[in-house]
Amino acid sequence: MHREISAGGVVYRVKEGRTEIQLIQDRFGRMTLAKGKMEPGETIEQTALREIDEETGIAGRIVVPLQQISYVYEHKELGPVRKEVHYYLVEAEAGPLKAQIEEIAGVEWYEPSEAWQLQRDSGYDNNDEVVRLAFEKLGLDFE
C-alpha cells in the first residue's frame, strides 16, 4: 500500500492579551487546519511550518507535537493510500494572514470558543481531538 505523509498544525497567536486560533476553510467549505504533503528532503516539522506559511501567509514556530492521525483513502491511480498526518501546536510569529487561493477558500483568526464551535459544526471529525489537545496545551476552555 502506498504511504503519504502530511503535516500541519493548530496555529495560534496572542493579540492584545487574548488568544486567537487560526482555522482555514477548505475548497469543500469545511473548516480545517493548515496541512500538506511532505516534500523530499524535508523533516516532518519543516513540512508543517512550510505548509502553514504557504496556505495562510503565517510564519510560525512549533511549540509542541499534538497528535498523529492515520487513515486510508482511495487514490485514482495508486489505489488505497495510507495517509499519516502529523499535527503540531504552532505559535504565529510573522506574516500577513493571506489565503493561498489555489488550495483553500479562506483563512481567519477566531476567538477560542468560536473556533471550537466551527470545528464541531463544520470541521472534520478527525480534527476534533487535535483541536481539543491544542486548547488543553494553551489552557483554553473548549466546551
What is the 8-class DSSP label of residue 104?
E
What CA–CA distance (Å, rounded) separates 103 from 122?
Answer: 18
Measured from the Cβ of residue 18, the count of other Cβ atoms closer than 10 Å reads 9
What CA–CA distance (Å, rounded) separates 115 from 56?
Answer: 16
Query: In which residue are the cell numbers 486548547 written?
Result: 135
Architecture of domain 2-138: Alpha-Beta Complex (3.90)
Measured from the Cβ of residue 22, the count of other Cβ atoms closer than 10 Å reads 24
120: pLDDT confidence band, cut at 50, 70 and 90?
very high
What CA–CA distance (Å, rounded) separates 61 from 104?
Answer: 22
List pLDDT tens digits, range 18-52.
999 999 999 999 999 999 999 999 999 999 999 99
List pLDDT tens digits, range 55-104.
999 999 999 999 999 999 999 999 999 999 999 999 999 999 999 988 89
Measured from the Cβ of residue 23, the count of other Cβ atoms closer than 10 Å reads 26
pTM listed for this prediction: 0.92
Domain boundaries, the chain: 2-138
